[in-house]
Structure 1
Amino acid sequence: MGYTYSSIWGILFVAIVFYGIISQIPLVHQLPILLPKVQDPWFLLYISLFIVTYTRDMVDFIRSDHGSFGKWWNDPKKFG
């Protein structure tokens, strides 16, 4: 695995640099960051993706014999 990571590091480096640069362009040019308002219909997309992602993570955690909802809620790896 170490050799594989070392061999594709160059490709990953390009993607990480572009991600870092492109995300800073609105801040440098003092442009507003475009996030949908709560009244906007596109906000439903963001909130549904958030809910579905955490629900799926919870179900996978519980099904893998780790425990209950309480253990999932207190799991520090949930956010990272």
Structure 2
Amino acid sequence: MQHYVGLCPMFDVEVMNADAELVLGDQGAQPSPSNVARGLSSIFKEITETVRKEAATIAAVFPSPNDVMSILVQVWVGYYWRCA
């Protein structure tokens, strides 16, 4: 389970940097509220889609899907809490 969770692309630095650039734009530039809102909306949709896909994969592959989802959520929350 831990190995599967560690392979999730949301922990890839390049993916996270692309997400930050989508929301904030170029470094040094002052992002407009509407651009930030659009970027956050886009990332939220992407996260929702990813969670649905991961949940379907986990349900199909693991005998205890709730345990795996619990670990995955704990890792996500812990990772993003440290990054904040």
Larger relative contact order, structure 1 or 2 (CA cutoff 8 Å, min sep 6):
2
The TM-score range, normalised by the shorter chain, is: 0.3 to 0.5
TM-score, normalised with respect to structure 1: 0.40
Which structure's CA Rg is the greater one? 1
How high is the TM-score relative to the length of structure 2? 0.39
- Determine which structure has the larger helix proportion and give its number: 2
